[in-house]
Homo-oligomer: A and B are copies of this chain.
């Protein structure tokens, strides 16, 4: 009887994706290899190909899992609060799983979790009276900004050896002031470039812009319909 065998759990797609997510968190995108993943599941690399078409398919699966971890805000929020909460929610989740950001941005795939996330955005915007076109565009701007911000932020947070974030500031320090007077005056900091304040600042800009689009339910007054 195989008494000492600790119940080899019979591989499944679920198990493979679970472990892949763990590898991504622990060792980053480069650490996720079929061989490495096989080792951790105590299986030869080729065994994974029974549950996953290839590495791209593996990535798509684990990325959809990551997106599914984004908590959706309350459905009854105002459009502005709802979009802001959604954006902050996306950013927070991505910062918890930094290794997924690059592939999420790069791969064109669109899993069910991403669609559910979009549904929330469409819902609060259409509920506030934005047109379908403006709802699509508005949500796209917020999500584009959010993903773009995080994509730039992540590699600057835990910058690897040799690319410490301080090195970025050094690049500014040695500037020939006569060539770049404005940059020298502003003294931009690499840290500020990726701060929460910076994120909120941009988010508010965008929400302000969206707020200027025609929207709102027709209430009692049709005031200012025309001059």
Interface residues of A (CB under 8 A from B): 102, 105-110, 115-116, 118-119, 122-123, 126, 132, 135-137, 140-141, 144-145, 147-149, 151-152, 155-156, 159, 163, 165, 167-168, 171-172, 175, 179-183, 185-188, 190, 192-193, 198, 201-202, 204-210, 212
Which of B119, B152, B175 contacts A180, CB < 8 Å? B119
Main secondary structure of the interface of A (DSSP, over half): helix
With a CB–CB cut-off of 8 A, which chain B residues contact A155?
106-108
- B144–A148 contact, CB under 8 A? yes
- B108–A182 contact, CB under 8 A? no
A132–B186 CA distance with the chains assembled, in angstroms: 5
Oligomeric state, in copies: 2
A151–B167 CA distance with the chains assembled, in angstroms: 24
A94–B52 CA distance with the chains assembled, in angstroms: 34
A138–B205 CA distance with the chains assembled, in angstroms: 9
With a CB–CB cut-off of 8 A, which chain B residues contact A119?
179-183
- A205–B168 contact, CB under 8 A? no
Given contacts A147-B148, A147-B152, A148-B151, contact A136 B192 (CB under 8 A): yes
Closest B-chain residue to A209, C-beta based?
A: B205
With a CB–CB cut-off of 8 A, which chain B residues contact A118?
183, 188
- A105–B186 contact, CB under 8 A? no
- A201–B137 contact, CB under 8 A? yes
- A140–B193 contact, CB under 8 A? yes
- A140–B202 contact, CB under 8 A? yes
